[in-house]
Each structure stands twice: as structure tokens, then as C-alpha cells.
A = this chain, B = another copy of it.
């Protein structure tokens, strides 16, 4: 529909006095706008369903510039996943670090999932979705997705260890199942209720596991 509004962002008025001359965006700004547009579109529709033209329109840059900064769509998808990884880390840490009690810190993971899945543009896990879309055609990107999950698992193992679990890896693996389940169910059901259920189940598992 009306995507002219986004296109008008193409050239920002520079700080040069009253004259709003159309000047070239510096690389950093252009990169941010492209990444922001790619993140929004890739996450909403999936990487395969979004063309480079759509990203150019949403970012307000020329195709030439887009390819200067990201030499191929695969490069852009990689940047998208790196961006999502950083976003995920910061959101998760924010919730976990707000607590000090080890048991509460574990449950904070599920508070994070509840908050995250409550956002209207929530579409589940970008890594799982990209993995499923590209595992057959792009092993490198598939490996980025598994690497992200490895990081999440490591964080859960650490939290389980801090909580004094006898078998922190086993506990972490069980908590991962609840997390992944919640992430997926919230996306399909369009509700954050599964995250709440996951928190309850996690609490039950912690009760049964921690002494």
C-alpha cells in the first residue's frame, strides 16, 4: 500500500543551517536504516518472502548503496541474525540481572519470554525460523542459528549452576524445552499465556530438582 511515507525518509535534512539540502547519509546511518528495515521485514515475513527491493524501499536508500554496504542478501541476513542476537541478549540480561536470588534469576527467563511475546509484532524465534527456512540452502546461516541456541543453553547452564543444581546441564536442557515451547506456542497462539504456563512448569521442575 502506501509506502511513500517510508520512502520520504530517504534523505534526511542535515544540520547545515536552514537549508534542508538532500545530502548523502553517512555509512553508519545508512547501515542502521538498512539493518532496521531488514530486521523488521525479515522478522515479520521471513527471509525468503522479503526481496531486496522491499528493503530498499523501507530503508530509503538506493539499491546501489544497499549492495555497497551489504554485498549480498546472505550478508544482510547474517547481519540481521547478529542484530537479533544482540537484541535477545540485552533483553534477557535485563530481566535476569534484575534479580539476585538464583532461583528467581532462572524464572526471570520466563518473565522475559512473557514480556517479549506480549509485543504486537512478536513472531517467535528469528533463529529457529531462519534455520528452518535456510538449512537446506545455506549451511553457514543455519550454523549461526544453532550457535545462538548454544549460547542460550550456556547461559541456562550457568544459571542452573548458580542455583546449586546437582545436574545443571540436565536442568538447563529441560528449561530450554520449556523456553522453546513457549516461544513457539506464543507465536502460533498469538498470546503470551504459554509463557506464563512455562513459568509455572519451570517452577515445578525447580521444586522437584533443587533441594
Contacts and interface: CB of A to CB of B under 8 A. Distances in A.
A92 interface: no
A136 interface: yes
Interface in A43-82: 44-46, 48-49
A11 interface: no
A173 B149 CA distance: 23
Interface stretch (A18-26, A96-104, A194-202): A194-202
A45 B138 CA distance: 11
Interface string A77-109: 000000000000000000000000000000000
A200 B198 CA distance: 16
Contacts of A124: 132
Contacts of A145: 188
19 contacts: A45-B136, A45-B137, A46-B136, A49-B137, A145-B188, A170-B197, A170-B200, A173-B194, A176-B181, A177-B178, A177-B185, A177-B194, A180-B180, A180-B181, A180-B184, A184-B184, A204-B205, A204-B209, A207-B208
Interface of A: 44-46, 48-49, 123-124, 128-129, 131-133, 136-137, 145-146, 149, 170, 173-174, 176-182, 184-185, 187-189, 193-194, 197-198, 200-201, 204-205, 207-209
